[in-house]
Amino acid sequence: MLIFIAYAVMPVTSLWFFFVAFRRKYRGTSQWIRSVNLILAIIGLIWSALGFLLLFYSSHLTSQTRSSLFQWKSHISGIAVGLLISLLLSSEFRQFARRSRRSNQALQPTAGRSDV
Instruction: From residue 82, give the alpha-carbon distance in Å to each of 4, 15, 45, 77, 109.
Output: 23, 19, 17, 9, 44
pLDDT tens digit string along 17-28?
Answer: 999 888 887 777
Is the entire prediction scored with pTM above 0.75?
A: yes
Residue 92's pLDDT band, with cuts at 50, 70 and 90, is confident
**pLDDT (tens digit per residue) in 64-74:** 999 999 999 99
pLDDT tens per residue across span 48-89: 999 999 999 999 999 999 999 999 999 999 999 999 999 889
- Calpha distance 86→28 (Å, rounded): 19
* 9, HSE (Cβ side, Cα atoms, 13 Å): 6
Is the alpha carbon torsion for 56, 6, 73, 22 positive or negative?
A: positive
**pLDDT reported for residue 96:** 75
Residues in the chain: 116
In the chain, pLDDT over 90 holds for what percent of residues? Answer: 57
